[in-house]
Every structure is written in C-alpha cells, then in structure tokens.
Amino acid sequence: MRENWLFWSFISAILFPLLMILLGEITLNLERKQNRIANLIKILRNLIIPFSALFVIQFKLLQLPKNSIFLRFTETFLWIILIYFGLTLINQILFEDAQQGTWRSNVPKLLLDLSRTFLVLIGAAVVLSNVWDANLGRLLTALGVGSLVIGLALQDSLGNIFSGVTLLLEKPIKIGDWIELGDIQGQVYEITWRSVHIYTRQRDLVIVPNSELAKGSFRNYSSPEPIHGVEVEIKFSCNDTPNRVIEVLRKTVLDTKGVLREPPPKVRLTSLDDWFLMYKTTFFVKDYVQGIESRHEFQLRMWYSSQRYNLTMPYPTTLEYQSSIPIADEYPQKALDILKQVPGWDSLAPNVLSEVLKYSIFENYAQEEVIVKEEQLLRGLFIVLEGKVALSFINSFGQTKIVGHILPGEIFGEKSCLLSGQRSDVTATSLVDTELVIIPIELLQSKIKQFPLLANKLGEIMELRRQLIVSLS
C-alpha cells in the first residue's frame, strides 16, 4: 500500500511537472514555426495535465471516496476537457487544412455541427452514467416525452432545420451562388440551420426559411457551371432586311464587352407582326453578374449601331398637329463650324465644305466602342465632332500602345487619302459618347486633286503619326 502511495506521489510531484515543462518547450517551438498543432499542445499542457494531476491527488493520494462531490466534479471537468480535446484534434486533422475540392472541404458546416453535437451527447451520457451513477433508462424515457412535447411546439422550426440539413447534403446551392426565388434575386450570403440569407442587387438582406426552399422551386444561376446565358429581344421595322439586321446584331454582340466567343452568340428571327419583326439574341458571359452588365452594354451599343446602319426600331406612334414653322437643323451647321477649323480644310470655301458634308456620313458611337480596328479597311477620313477617341496599336511584343487621343476638330484614318483599299495602322476606340463625320474615300480623293494644299496637310499628319507609331513599336 505504501509503495502504491509512493508511486502516485512520484507521478504527481515529478512526472506531471516534467511533462508541463516539456510540453511548454514544444509549444514555444511550434508557435515560432506558426504550426497550428500548438493549440492542441496548449490544451494538453494547460488543461488536461493539471486536471489529471488534481484527479490523481484526490483519488490516489488523498483517497477520497468515489462518491465524493469534489472528486466527481474533478472527473467531470476532466471528461469535458478530453471531449473538447478530441473534437479539436479531429477537426484539426480532417477539416481545418483540407484542400479546396476534396471531400473534406465539401462537408457541410451544418453536418459537422450535428456530428459534434452527437459526440458531445455521447460523452455526456458516459459522464452521467460512470461519474454520477445516473439511470440512463429513466433519463431517456424523460427525454423521449420531452422531445415529443418540444417537437409539437417547435414543428415549424424543426422543419426548417431538417430542410436545412437536406439542402446542405444535396447541395443545390452554396455560398456565393446567384439564385432566383419568386421575385427575389440575389447572392447566397449564408446558409444556417434555419434559413438561407440572400444579399440582393439592391444591397438588401433577405432571409428565406429553409422549408420554403425545400418545398418550392428556385433557379440557380451559378450551377452546374458559372457561365450564364443572356437573351435579349429587340424589335426592328418590317422594312429592314432580316439578314442585314441579323448581321448587325451579331457584329454588335461580338463587340460587346464581356461576351464570350465560345459558346458562340446566336441571333434568330422569332416572330412576325404587322409593324415589326422580333429578333432574339442569345449570348454567354462568364457569370450572372457579368450578364447584367453585358445586357445593358449590348442594348446601349445596339441603339448606336441601328443609327449607323439606318435600321429602324419601331415604336407606337401618335398623330400630332404642329404649326408649319420650320425648325432649324443645327447639326450640319455644327459640323460645318468644326470642319472650318480642321487643318487643310480651313482653307476651303464654305460652299465646298457644305458640299463635302452633304455627301458625308454622320455616325454616333457609345463609350468604349471600337470605331476602327487595326488592319481594318478604311472607309474614309474620320473627323471628331464631339467626344474623345483613343488611338492604339499592338507592337511586336504583343503590348498595346497608345498613340494619342483625338478631340473635336481632329482627324484619323488619314491613310485613306492615298488610294482605295488602305488599312488602318491603329485601333480607334471612343472613350466617351462620340459623334463623327466620315468623308468617303472617293469624295476625299476628288477634293485632294482639286486642292493640293489639302493633300500636303494630310500628308504631314500621316507622316507625324507614322513616326510616332515607329517610335513606340
């Protein structure tokens, strides 16, 4: 008996302190390396070892009876710490450092919480049975009756919880997905036991009970893949040739920011009416959010394209009676005033400039719309009436270089004064909404023959721009 007492005295007085010192050194070493296992060693050193020592002192040295309240509390706290240590160890090994895409990273948080709760309940049953000598049969009976009463009182809440479990196991949605439920559209912000939190595009937080998602139907815009299809319907006049309209729609949608080349966009004539034809354009973007922006961008650009290609977007009309007083058209006058300031053209007579504008083309471009692409055939000389245009090209290293910015009263496409079939050295992109006048090649070359000074000025501009491109190449 005395030898047994000496053995436990040795463990309490020497072994436990040595373990504390050793684990302390290990903890410091792991913390310097920023190793997460240091937290587990801390629990072992600061909680398990001290309570184990206290239990040994009470039970083996002081020889307190097993039904002693002090011994029972010490043993209960030791069990609680061991359960906490075990759960932390399992979480550390299996889930905390799980790589993205593995089964461990895909385990729902709710399922982990339920598993932890189940393990804690088992541990509690062991403690009650072994430490406190509780009759588990009677306890389970009481819990069964209580659970029935609680289940009837909280059936809606429990329904939401079980629906949440079903959603997390089936994974029809996940955090970050864009979904549509009734008139609610938004991004899944959080999935809890009871509800799904949706963050709308209006920056509102909508909380939807899990039972509504489980019972009803919803649309997930982010699954099975984030690529999202967008459909836009636009009406055009019956007088516009369908093939021409389809060509303009296809060209405009391909030039729209964010539209993917694969899968390719599709344009179809979907319906015929007495006063319009309906065209449906389908295109794809990288995700739902980009689809919102690209839809707006495409419809905006389509208005500008319809103006440039003389397509008519019909709308209901009403008959209005107006006085016969003519309204002056200021647009040609503005173009004439600007053309008088353009180098080379400023020396020509007003009637000559008016004749040039009469046979020129007026076009509008939206912000960030490409006017002319590098190596594209030039249609004529471009003069900016309003707005701002950036000229750029791709050098031999594949880098985009900015040549300059064209402001109202300045020109680009000056190579068209040489011969027909000239290609642009630069890409011209509108930086803001831009109005242009385009002097066709035939008209431009005829005026150059009539007025040699105009040819000299255009030649000077062309040479300066060529030297700038060479210096940036």
Q: pLDDT tens digits, residue range 69-110?
A: 888 888 888 888 888 888 888 888 777 776 665 656 656 666
Per-residue model confidence (pLDDT) at position 278: 93
Mean pLDDT calculated for residue range 32-49: 86
Q: pLDDT tens digits, residue range 457-473?
A: 888 888 888 888 888 87
Per-residue model confidence (pLDDT) at position 321: 46
| CB half-sphere exposure, 372, CA atoms < 13 A | 31
Question: In this predicted structure, which of 101-105, 149-153, 437-441, 457-461 has the lowest mean pLDDT?
Answer: 149-153
Mean pLDDT over the full length of the chain: 82
251 contact partners, CB below 8 Å, separation of at least 6: 305
Could you give the CA distance from residue 136 to residue 125 in angstroms, rounded to a whole number?
A: 7
Per-residue model confidence (pLDDT) at position 143: 59
129 contact partners, CB below 8 Å, separation of at least 6: 136
Banded pLDDT at 158 (limits 50, 70, 90):
low
Is it the case that residue 398 has pLDDT exceeding 90? Answer: no
Strand pairing partners for 185?
180
Mean pLDDT calculated for residue range 224-241: 91
Residue ranges of domains in the chain = 2-107, 171-220, 228-308, 331-472
Residue % of the chain over a pLDDT of 90? 26
Banded pLDDT at 159 (limits 50, 70, 90):
low
Per-residue model confidence (pLDDT) at position 408: 92
Per-residue model confidence (pLDDT) at position 127: 81
CATH for the 171-220 domain, from 2.40.50.150, 2.60.40.10, 2.30.30.60, 3.40.920.10: 2.30.30.60
Q: What is the homologous superfamily of the domain 331-472 according to CATH?
A: Jelly Rolls (2.60.120.10)
- Fold agreement between 171-220 and 228-308: no
Is it the case that residue 252 has pLDDT exceeding 70? Answer: yes
CATH architecture of structural domain 228-308 = 2-Layer Sandwich (3.30)
The residue whose two tokens read 């005033």 is 337
Per-residue model confidence (pLDDT) at position 320: 53
Q: At residue 37, what is the residue type?
A: I
Question: In this predicted structure, which of 16-25, 35-44, 165-174, 265-274 has the lowest mean pLDDT?
Answer: 165-174
Per-residue model confidence (pLDDT) at position 161: 59
Per-residue model confidence (pLDDT) at position 236: 92
User: When comparing pLDDT for 119 and 287, which is higher?
Assistant: 287
Measured between alpha carbons, how far is residue 409 from residues 66, 102, 382, 414, 427 in Å? 100, 61, 10, 14, 19
List the structure tokens of 197: 């939190």
Q: Single out the residue of 332, 415, 333 nearest to residue 372, CA to CA.
A: 415
Banded pLDDT at 178 (limits 50, 70, 90):
very high
User: When comparing pLDDT for 345 and 153, which is higher?
Assistant: 345
List the structure tokens of 178: 């864009």
Per-residue model confidence (pLDDT) at position 329: 46
